[in-house]
Amino acid sequence: MKISTKGRYALRMLVELARHQENGYMSLKEISERQNISKKYLEQIVPMLNKSGILRTNRGNKGGYMLAKPASECTVGDVLRATEGSLAPVSCLDQEYNDCPRAGFCVTLYIWEGLNKAVADYLNSITIQDILDRSSDAGDQYCI
What are the pLDDT digits (tens) for 61-99? Answer: 878 999 999 999 999 999 999 999 999 999 889 888 888
Burial class (CB in 10 A: 0-12, 13-18, 19+), 124: middle
Does residue 144 register a pLDDT over 70?
no
Least confident of 3-7, 41-45, 56-60, 77-81: 56-60
According to the model, what pLDDT value does residue 142 have? 53
Does residue 139 register a pLDDT over 60?
no
| Interval 119-132 mean pLDDT | 97
Q: How many Å apart are CA 66 and CA 23, to the nearest integer? A: 10
135-to-14, 63, 128 alpha-carbon distances in Å: 13, 27, 11
In the chain, % of residues over pLDDT 90: 76
Q: How many Å apart are CA 132 and CA 116, to the nearest integer? A: 26
According to the model, what pLDDT value does residue 100 have? 86
| Mean pLDDT of the residues in the chain | 92
Structure confidence by residue, pLDDT tens digits, 89-118: 998 898 888 888 888 899 999 999 999 999
Does residue 1 register a pLDDT over 80?
no
Does residue 27 register a pLDDT over 90?
yes
Q: Which domains does the chain have, with CATH numbers?
A: 5-137 (1.10.10.10)
According to the model, what pLDDT value does residue 141 have? 54
Identify the CA nearest to 90 among candidates 105, 111, 75: 111
The residue ranking higher by pLDDT, 106 or 140, is 106
